[in-house]
Amino acid sequence: MNNHEEQHGSGKLEKDIQTDFSKSMSYGDYLHLDKILESQHRCSDHHDEMLFIIIHQASELWMKLILHEVQAATLSIRNNDLEPSFKMLARVSRIQQQLIQSWSVLSTLTPAEYMGFRDALGSSSGFQSHQNRLIEFAMGNKNVHTLSVFKHQTELYTQMLQALNEPGLYDAAIGALAARGLPIDQEALDRDWSQSYQPNASVEEAWLTVYRDVDQYWDLYELAEKLVDIGSQQQFWRFNHMTTVERIIGNKMGTGGSSGVNYLKRALDQQFFPELWSMRTKL
């Protein structure tokens, strides 16, 4: 669908270009652009607050797509249908690149400019992004205490609690290892899903088997590399987040009450899919 058709040198539209949308759906109708483009409401009169709003709104749209793909990929893996998940997870890593790049746009905001509207943000903070929290949950980083900021939204809190107590993407991958006959400890297959994933020696050994016999386990090998892609991209996103925040506010507290940069630095220590990294040393 090309909605940016070029005009002829005469200025006239091509004769077949539709111009009457009184009874049919237009580009704006399909995308609900009236709602999207009317959703940027500055809380101050500062010019640069528009940048701040749009960066975060666009990021939330990309996160929505990540969740759409990750949830479908997880279901595909749990159904022992690995190949469709590869395309979905490859798409996730490309989306993550968009999110990583967005920090470079936000970094054009100087400390002086941000301080011009920071007080208008009140207690709102990226820490309260439920979609980013759901992505972290899906990737194995779970913490029941993070749900407290959503208690005022009953429906959302229920959704978050359900995600906390469900197996995530990596749990599905470990299940796929077991389904192929690779020995996995029961405690890794039937654990408390509400807890962050902890490394397991049998899982590491299973991945080592996969990497040592790629021809026999090509699909599991491909799955592993897709997971490494999105795990590393998520760490890049976290790192760029931290450095952008440090560039703009230094070591000030976050608007939501967190320690700001120090909190983001600690988050970098939380690694995704740990055995896929540790087994590289032993391979």
Long-range pairs, 106-109, Cβ under 8 A, ≥24: 106/51, 106/52, 106/55, 106/244, 106/248, 107/244, 107/247, 107/248, 108/51, 109/48, 109/51, 109/52, 109/248
Among candidate residues 25, 5, 23, 24, the one with its CA nearest the CA of residue 15: 5
d(CA 271, CA 195): 14
- Report which secondary-structure segment, H or E, holds 93: helix 82-106
Binding residues for heme are 241
DSSP class of 236: H
CA distances for 42 relative to 32, 82, 216, angstroms: 21, 45, 57
**Count of beta carbons in the 10 Å neighbourhood of residue 134:** 21
Binding residues are 52-56, 114, 118, 241, 255
Among candidate residues 115, 111, 104, the one with its CA nearest the CA of residue 46: 115
Binding residues for substrate are 52-56, 114, 118, 255
d(CA 43, CA 56): 15
d(CA 55, CA 103): 8
User: First and final CA of the chain: distance in angstroms?
Assistant: 48
